[in-house]
Chains A and B, each alone.
Chain A
Amino acid sequence: MFGISFLSPLFLVAAIAAAVPILLHLFHRKTEVVIDFPAVRLLKRAPVQQHRRRRLRELILLALRVVALVLLSLAFARPYFAGAVAPASAPLTVIAMDQSMSLSAPNQIERAREAALRAVAAAAGSTALTLVTFADAATVAVEPTTDRAAMRLAIAEVAPAPRGTRYRTALARASEVIGTREGRVVVVTDLQQAGWEANDEGGLPDGVDVEVAAVAPPPGNLAVTSAERRDGRVIATVQNYGNAESKTAVRLLMGSAVMAQADVTVAPLAAADVELDVSLPRTGQAELRIDDPIGYQLDNARIVSLEPPSATPVAVIVADPTGASGGLYIERALNVVGRGREFSVDVLDGSALAKWAPDDFQRRAVVFLLGTRTLSRAGRDQIRSYLARGGQVLVALGPMVDVGTLTDVLGVAIAASGDPVRTPGATMVATDGRHPIFRPFLNPSGALGDVQVDQYRRLTEHPDRVVLARFSGGDAALSEQVVGEGRLMIYTSDLDNEWSRFPLNAAFVPFVVETARYLSRGESAGEAAAGFEPRESSPAATTAEEFTKAIDRTNRSNLVDPGQAARDVEDQQRWWQVGLLLMLAALAGEALLGRRTT
């Protein structure tokens, strides 16, 4: 009531004590002391207290005593104003509303809103409601509340976003909101199959009921899955996710002007490339758009960058570029992506580095340091300066690296063992699979577990260094740290097929490419990345039963206490102190008035 909640509502029972002075008052009135006295006639002539005035004082005294007791119980109940936030103990219905790209088909989001509104209307009056909107991330759009109008308003504002679907993320968020209270989840979604990401984590607590309000997916969908400028042409790929052949017009737009147009017919569950031969400026961007009257609308267009792609300059410093372990594998790996246009790789040794102009070296986006034995003083200074001024360096502590001189080369002591640790068959495990470097390995088929390392150098742990991957023995495999304004990554084995067979493993190329991308912070040039994966364009859906069965159940005891938020709010407001002060004021007033009365 009035937005007031209590941390310890049981103390409100103590307010019953307020009845004590009331009863005493009534009891006192009935059994007022009567004294038989002979000289009452003299009393009558004395200025006896006016009965009405005395009664008024008694009522004021009674009110003050009752108020004091009520305030005391209120103070102990620890009240707080949570606005329309529902009490922590109230049953809660979470309406989890899908707003991913797959809700962008005509009339789909409207049907989703109607389903959500029906869930609001069906909730009991005493039930709190909360709205969680989700795509690839989940957001609490409306905190737990009993305000139905606020819920309806928020639901009306939900719109599809160009993002993917991650059901477990939404369920995890709903679980946090429900906490330990009685809860129920209504999931308003199109039940898209792609929403179940295998590596996501998240479920619902035991005992939380789930209701699925399904929004039917479109019967088919056409999507532009890629578009890029290549040799004076724009090449687009159109994917048909429907079961029927579909024909559509492909237009290239600059602003509102149609620069080129072509029709394409795409077979069921197939893709077709469309080439638009058109003269375009060398700067700016264009939009490639198709017509899809029944499918998702947010995957019907792609932005095409008109600027020629520029390769990311990468330097690979080795001890001997002519040797068998001369950075060959890294060079080949980086040249695989983008048909060799994403990275521009220079492999050089110490003597070649010494000949480079300092500015030329400083322009390198990423430096792979695989060997230091041929580095001259000038080369060491260049690397150290490069790193200190914001350079991005990955050093592999292979056999060609002289650990004793690394401090001089990098400008920071890395505390690595001089002799390698021999552990034949050691495997590498990422400590955080969500790190950009390891994202490609989330799929079990690309796991790093197949990588076997025979030798590595033991790296002493340091608080400024974050270990991103470890070998099976527990030693650091890959770490990251800030040096000056730059970033240094240390791989404790080699990347040249001498201490391990990593370069021959399928995981090597994505590992090197993602590392280079991470260090250079680059995006693939020529095409603006969409906020969702191509599979989001597939309208294939599961059933409500399959959806419910796929939900992981968690133990409530593992959850964070939802009352903590309420305690934090109460701790900030501290209304109990005000209550105690008012109680003291009431008691002081009662004492003063009581003294006058008696």
Chain B
Amino acid sequence: MPGQARYLDPAIIARLGTIDLKARTIVEGFLTGLHRSPYKGFSVEFAEYRQYLPGDDLATLDWKVYARSDRHFVKKYEEETNLTCHLLIDVSASMAYASGTVTKLQYGSYLAGAIAYLMHRQRDSFGLIAFDDSVAALLPASARSGHLRLVLLALERLQIGMRTNVAKPLNDLAAAVRKRGMVVLISDLLDDPSAVLDGLKHFRYRGTDVIVFHILDPYELQFPFEQAARFRDMETEEEVAAVPASIRDDYVQKMQELIGFYRRELGLAGIDYCLLETSQPLELGLMSYLMTRHRVL
């Protein structure tokens, strides 16, 4: 899908107007590329009639129509579930980093918006929680028609916060979520990996499915700097003088070890993990989300 990939380029999406338009553009483009919606299924809302074919479940046969027309038709219903999804987005200072035009927070916002838009189409209930070392914004999950606008508006108004403390809001939220559902975590995970893991496991203990979008800038993965410089931590403002060429290999190795840790440990905990670079098309994130949702349902 080269055309769709170009269309869903985060840099292009960033130039679009409101986050509502961005989310719709992402999702519609993504769905158009799929050619069909695989998400038609059981639903309480009528969708269409179709002539009976051998093999169809007799339970779907509309006997009233058969009585009036003496023809066999089956009723198709739009899918409707009671899935409740919580979008958790990290707004800590490190999410403001961008080697290009799109910061990690922007990328995460587009992704969250797109998922929200997709949930809205699926009649799912969804909410939004922004956090750094505490909860910065909270929109409870809802499936009402106007809820999408509120979520998108909240995403558009997200402000960069302070230091990351993923574990604390995760634990707080896990305790608050009573109904089984789904949690989507969008973060760079630059926190204590064990604490992050513990927080996510907390959800799993309560039967909540979790998908983690690990958002990283390409520079964080490749560390392509050339000139010796002082690198200042965006959250702690701690500085480290370094000559990139001499430490690049070691740094990349450390980063890959961190990614590997999350991928391995989250997998063992039954948590989906998706690494996304801010230069990658957003459809990859949507694809991961849908796969998880499909598994959940």
Tell whether A42 pairs with B258 under 8 Å between CB atoms, given A35-B225, A37-B234: yes
Residues of A within 8 A of B44 (CB): none
Tell whether A46 pairs with B230 under 8 Å between CB atoms, given A38-B97, A38-B188: no
B254 adjacent to A46 (CB under 8 Å):
yes
Which of A35, A46, A598 meets B232, CB within 8 Å? Answer: A35
Tell whether A42 pairs with B254 under 8 Å between CB atoms, given A32-B230, A37-B233: yes
Residues of A within 8 A of B32 (CB): none
Residues of B within 8 A of A37 (CB): 97, 220, 231-234
B247 adjacent to A47 (CB under 8 Å):
yes
Which of B235, B243, B258 meets A49, CB within 8 Å? Answer: B243
Tell whether A40 pairs with B240 under 8 Å between CB atoms, given A32-B229, A46-B247: yes
Residues of A within 8 A of B239 (CB): 34, 40
Residues of A within 8 A of B227 (CB): 33
B241 adjacent to A54 (CB under 8 Å):
yes
B230 adjacent to A33 (CB under 8 Å):
yes
Q: Can you add 9 more A-B contacts, CB < 8 Å, to A38-B233, A54-B241?
A: A32-B230, A33-B228, A37-B233, A37-B234, A38-B190, A38-B217, A38-B234, A40-B240, A46-B254
B251 adjacent to A46 (CB under 8 Å):
yes
User: Any chain B CB within 8 A of the CB of A30?
Assistant: no
Residues of B within 8 A of A34 (CB): 229-232, 239
CB distance from A492 to the nearest CB of B (A): 92
A335 and B189 CA atoms in complex are apart in Å by 131
B240 adjacent to A44 (CB under 8 Å):
yes
Residues of A within 8 A of B238 (CB): 40, 44
User: Any chain A CB within 8 A of the CB of B94?
Assistant: yes
CB distance from B147 to the nearest CB of A (A): 32
CB distance from A593 to the nearest CB of B (A): 13
CB distance from A38 to the nearest CB of B (A): 4
CB distance from B236 to the nearest CB of A (A): 7
B240 adjacent to A598 (CB under 8 Å):
no
Give the dominant DSSP class at A's interface. Answer: mixed
Most chain B beta carbons < 10 A, residue from A35, A39, A42: A39
Instruction: Give the tally of cross-chain contacts (CB within 8 A).
Output: 93
B254 adjacent to A36 (CB under 8 Å):
no
Tell whether A36 pairs with B97 under 8 Å between CB atoms, given A42-B258, A43-B251: yes
User: Any chain A CB within 8 A of the CB of B28?
Assistant: no
Residues of A within 8 A of B230 (CB): 32-35
A43 adjacent to B240 (CB under 8 Å):
yes
Residues of A within 8 A of B254 (CB): 42, 45-46
Residues of B within 8 A of A54 (CB): 228, 241, 243
A409 and B213 CA atoms in complex are apart in Å by 127
A41 adjacent to B241 (CB under 8 Å):
no
User: Any chain B CB within 8 A of the CB of A51?
Assistant: yes
Residues of B within 8 A of A41 (CB): 190, 233
Residues of A within 8 A of B145 (CB): none
User: Any chain A CB within 8 A of the CB of B139?
Assistant: no
CB distance from B219 to the nearest CB of A (A): 8
B251 adjacent to A42 (CB under 8 Å):
yes
A480 and B247 CA atoms in complex are apart in Å by 91
A51 and B228 CA atoms in complex are apart in Å by 12
Name B70-121 residues within 8 Å CB distance of A: 94-95, 97, 104
A35 and B227 CA atoms in complex are apart in Å by 10
A43 adjacent to B242 (CB under 8 Å):
yes
A38 and B92 CA atoms in complex are apart in Å by 10
CB distance from B226 to the nearest CB of A (A): 8
User: Any chain A CB within 8 A of the CB of B61?
Assistant: no
Give 1 or 0 for each of A33-76: 1 = CB within 8 Å of chain B CB: 11111111111111111010010000000000000000000000
CB distance from A556 to the nearest CB of B (A): 60
Tell whether A597 pairs with B243 under 8 Å between CB atoms, given A34-B229, A36-B97, A37-B234: yes
User: Any chain A CB within 8 A of the CB of B250?
Assistant: yes
Name A511-551 residues within 8 Å CB distance of B: none
Tell whether A42 pairs with B255 under 8 Å between CB atoms, given A37-B233, A598-B243, A598-B245: yes
B247 adjacent to A43 (CB under 8 Å):
yes
A47 adjacent to B250 (CB under 8 Å):
yes
A577 and B231 CA atoms in complex are apart in Å by 45
CB distance from A28 to the nearest CB of B (A): 10
Which of A36, A39, A44, A48 meets B190, CB within 8 Å? Answer: A39
A33 and B235 CA atoms in complex are apart in Å by 18
Residues of A within 8 A of B240 (CB): 40, 43-44, 48
A36 and B234 CA atoms in complex are apart in Å by 6
A40 and B244 CA atoms in complex are apart in Å by 12
CB distance from B214 to the nearest CB of A (A): 12
Residue of chain B at shortest CB distance from A48 = B242
B94 adjacent to A598 (CB under 8 Å):
no
A384 and B94 CA atoms in complex are apart in Å by 117
CB distance from B168 to the nearest CB of A (A): 18
Residues of A within 8 A of B232 (CB): 34-37, 40
User: Any chain A CB within 8 A of the CB of B246?
Assistant: yes
B250 adjacent to A40 (CB under 8 Å):
no
Name A1-55 residues within 8 Å CB distance of B: 32-49, 51, 54
Residue of chain A at shortest CB distance from B230 = A34
Residues of B within 8 A of A51 (CB): 241
Residue of chain A at shortest CB distance from B245 = A598
CB distance from B25 to the nearest CB of A (A): 28
A308 and B148 CA atoms in complex are apart in Å by 148
CB distance from B225 to the nearest CB of A (A): 7
CB distance from A88 to the nearest CB of B (A): 49
Give 1 or 0 for each of A423-447: 1 = CB within 8 Å of chain B CB: 0000000000000000000000000
Residues of B within 8 A of A36 (CB): 97, 231-232, 234
A54 and B97 CA atoms in complex are apart in Å by 28
A46 adjacent to B250 (CB under 8 Å):
yes
Residues of B within 8 A of A35 (CB): 225, 229-232
CB distance from A24 to the nearest CB of B (A): 15
Name B33-86 residues within 8 Å CB distance of A: none
